[in-house]
Amino acid sequence: MHLSYFGIRVTDIEKSYEFYTELFGLEEVTRIDKTTLGGGICVLLTDNASGQKLELNWYPEGSTYANYYIPGEGLDHIAFEVDDMDETLRSLEKKGIHRITTNQPFNTNARLAYVKDPDGNWIELYQRVNVPTPILQAQK
């Protein structure tokens, strides 16, 4: 068994598509439009570096699936590993995306920052940091 993908509901499929493809480098795998059948539009995205997948789901008014929800309901966060936190934050800020929090004290092996997507879902950015390994002294 393995995790195949996770899906999130979005309120604007194109705005969310742009957010995840242009800012986070995800690429479209497939797009399915079932609006004529009472469903919605789903777009499956992938991160070629990790193989992780994200499905964006949008439902039009009148669809049985278009019920009201609170943004982020049931979703804690989506995490992206970055190579350079400072550069990533500068790049996002140039595009109008500002960090909400940064560098959580409970995590000693990564730098963390959080932003929100267009629907208010939390996006965690993390950069692994080198944690010094303890030096084991030889017993005499």
Question: Mean pLDDT by 10-residue block, N- to C-terminus, for the chain (140 residues)?
Answer: 77 95 96 87 94 92 78 75 91 88 63 87 84 46
Main-chain dihedrals φ then ψ at residue 89, nearest 5 degrees? -65, -40
Pairing state of beta strands 53-58 and 6-9? parallel
CB 56 within 8 A of CB 45: yes
Report the pLDDT value the prediction gives residue 69, as an integer from 0 to 100. Answer: 72
| C-beta pairs of 61-68 under 8 Å, 24+ apart in sequence | 63/35, 63/38, 63/39, 64/38, 65/39, 65/40, 66/40
**Cα–Cα distance between 127 and 100 in angstroms, integer?**
16
SS3 of residue 92 by DSSP: helix
Class of domain 71-131: alpha beta
Report the pLDDT value the prediction gives residue 106, as an integer from 0 to 100. Answer: 53
Report the pLDDT value the prediction gives residue 79, as an integer from 0 to 100. Answer: 83
Domain ranges across the chain: 1-62, 71-131
Report the pLDDT value the prediction gives residue 17, as an integer from 0 to 100. Answer: 98
E strands, the chain, where?
A: 6-9, 27-33, 41-46, 53-58, 78-81, 101-102, 110-116, 122-128
The architecture in CATH of the region 1-62 reads: Roll (3.10)
Report the pLDDT value the prediction gives residue 103, as an integer from 0 to 100. Answer: 55
Domain 71-131 in the same topology as domain 1-62: yes
